[in-house]
Chains A and B, each alone.
Chain A
Amino acid sequence: GAVVSQHPSWVICKSGTSVKIECRSLDFQATTMFWYRQFPKQSLMLMATSNEGSKATYEQGVEKDKFLINHASLTLSTLTVTSAHPEDSSFYICSAKGSTTDTQYFGPGTRLTVL
């Protein structure tokens, strides 16, 4: 149980284009989903928290107009990196938790490379 998937697992795009990453909870209802970013040899950095049906709450320093988050259902959240630039290249990981637990279950991550 508690399986979270992400799609795509890796993506290469040109500078200036937008990329959408999907995060799905496969066997539970995720009332809250989180988006993280991990730079090489560093810990996970929380970007934003989203509750189903509500606007996402972004961490300080994260541009909400650049990283669009949608959590339209209890099993799906999307992160769209708009007008991507090479400095956006990173490993993006989502996590999800249900209403009855504080444990977050993580997706496998998406490697984004912007050329």
Chain B
Amino acid sequence: DQQVKQNSPSLSVQEGRISILNCDYTNSMFDYFLWYKKYPAEGPTFLISISSIKDKNEDGRFTVFLNKSAKHLSLHIVPSQPGDSAVYFCAASANGNKLVFGAGTILRVKS
């Protein structure tokens, strides 16, 4: 049973435009959500996180939105840059326990 789902395997965006990556979850006990960026043959790099008590967190070009009623979160990258091209994983945890990862979305930013 996939508790964290990233239904879009890939996304292609023009440089300068907004990238929106989506993630859905099923476990209502999740209280902490994270986004990671990953290049092939490298470990994931932490991007941004959000606690379940918030609905938005912003850090530079990255903003994460959380809709608890819909069990949905999204990562907005604006403006998108070619260097943002990578695999993006969302992850969730409950009570500080292990992270549950989505399958990832490949983002390609075209220049």
Contact = CB atoms under 8 A, between A and B. Distances in A.
**Is the A/B pair a real complex?**
yes
Interface of A: 2, 4, 6, 34, 42-44, 46, 49, 91, 93-95, 102-109, 111
Contacts of A2: 46
12 contacts: A4-B43, A34-B99, A44-B44, A46-B99, A95-B43, A95-B44, A102-B32, A102-B49, A104-B99, A106-B36, A106-B43, A107-B43
A91 B41 contact: yes
Contacts of B36: 106
Contact-residue bracket for chain B = 10 to 19
Contacts, number: 46
Contacts of A42: 103
Given A108-B42, A109-B43, 6 more contacts: A6-B43, A43-B102, A46-B99, A93-B43, A104-B46, A104-B99
Interface of B: 32, 34, 36, 41-46, 49, 89, 93, 96, 98-99, 101-104
B98 to A, nearest CB: 6
A103 B48 CA distance: 9
Given A2-B46, A103-B46, A105-B46, A43 B41 contact: no
A60 to B, nearest CB: 12
Contacts of B89: 43-44
B90 to A, nearest CB: 10
A11 to B, nearest CB: 14
Contacts of B101: 43-44
Contacts of B96: 102
Contacts of A108: 42-43
B5 to A, nearest CB: 11
